[in-house]
Structure 1
């Protein structure tokens, strides 16, 4: 009951948007009762992160390693983003909750079997940390009250730099898309980042296999 309510408060207000006193009020109890049954606020936050990570998929191991990470990371964006602050905590503390261990075990195992060898944990960390950092960045913008589209609008309103060339012109359609549909732009950036990482890691795997 305590963690269920804390999860709801996190979904509505973010991980740092509620206090133990507010949690106790929502439960109709006292803060020391929560401390007795669950622990201090950090313990409650750990339990919330555990619940959110448990919502992430752990795709079947018979997928190829690249397809496995797509099946993990693409759906996980919406899951984690639904609980503002969880991504930043995962980046800060690492995935130090029990629900993350089966995902970690399978993902690193697939990378090792694919030929990454001792670099498998590093490859896993690159993929997971980068994906969580992108989600955390969107969280920070939301908490600051600054939409992603505002930055694009500001850039489009600026005068071109002296001697601006093809780069400035190539950027303008992207900025227009960014300003007009920031949600689609965020998703596109997220997907492009994951695909770029997978491509780079495949090159690293192939180079390592040849050594």
Structure 2
């Protein structure tokens, strides 16, 4: 894609596409999410988008500078979806926990696209609002600014890191995902207690626990640490 993009007021396509719809940034983003979800990262091309939209591929230029520009829009869309409907309670820990779980869930809903977008910094509307909200929660709770920034950094990297990790698991072909889970039962559960006493003692627990995401517990551990630091006056 080229580096030209039509100014916002001029972007509306006045004639419907072959499928009877009018192009918009929202429609293109939603279509891109659907294509990536169905066909993986390789589907994020102007040609594939044009075909799915029933429009000439060059029409996408009116809305996005490049495929990377579109990818950043997808990343910002995830952040916006995570914030939709969220309301502060005034309890900083409960509010951060809810935000973290929402971020994780938003990316898990579109695992293929999450693999492309979870590590990107967009600088766009939804992301800026999320940064402002999280820092506001921490500063209002009483964390000094240097500490608020450090905890914000750890909180966001943890949530996005688990979002990407769990998305990668969800994006695996069914056979590969089943085989990975089966390793805990087929291999670890059969290790000799004489050579692997700790694994043998916890094999049943491992088999059960590795079937779910470690993020909720990791999030609680991070919040426990933040709460302890706040109480200690760090």
Larger radius of gyration: 2
Distance in 1 of aligned mates of 2:123 and 2:117: 8
Q: Could you say what the CA RMSD is over the residues aligned between the two structures, in angstroms?
A: 2.6
The 5-angstrom pairing of residues 172-211 of structure 1 reads 172-178=203-209, 182=211, 185-186=212-213, 189-207=214-232, 209=233
Does structure 2 conserve the Cα–Cα contact (< 8 Å) formed by 1:49 and 1:97? no
Q: 1 or 2, which has the higher helix percentage?
A: 1
SS of the residue 1:116 aligns to: coil
SS of the residue 1:55 aligns to: helix
Map of 2:151 onto structure 1: 123
Distance in 2 of aligned mates of 1:41 and 1:161: 53
**Aligned to 1:169, which of 193, 200, 214?**
200
Structure 2: stretches of 5+ with no match in the other structure: 1-26
Distance in 2 of aligned mates of 1:160 and 1:18: 48
Map of 2:4 onto structure 1: none
Map of 1:81 onto structure 2: 108
SS of the residue 2:143 aligns to: helix
Does structure 1 conserve the Cα–Cα contact (< 8 Å) formed by 2:80 and 2:127? yes
Aligned length: 202
Does structure 1 conserve the Cα–Cα contact (< 8 Å) formed by 2:72 and 2:122? no
Structure 1: stretches of 5+ with no match in the other structure: none
Distance in 1 of aligned mates of 2:33 and 2:114: 14
Q: Give the drift of 1:8.
A: 2.2
TM-score (norm 2): 0.74
Distance in 2 of aligned mates of 1:153 and 1:42: 42
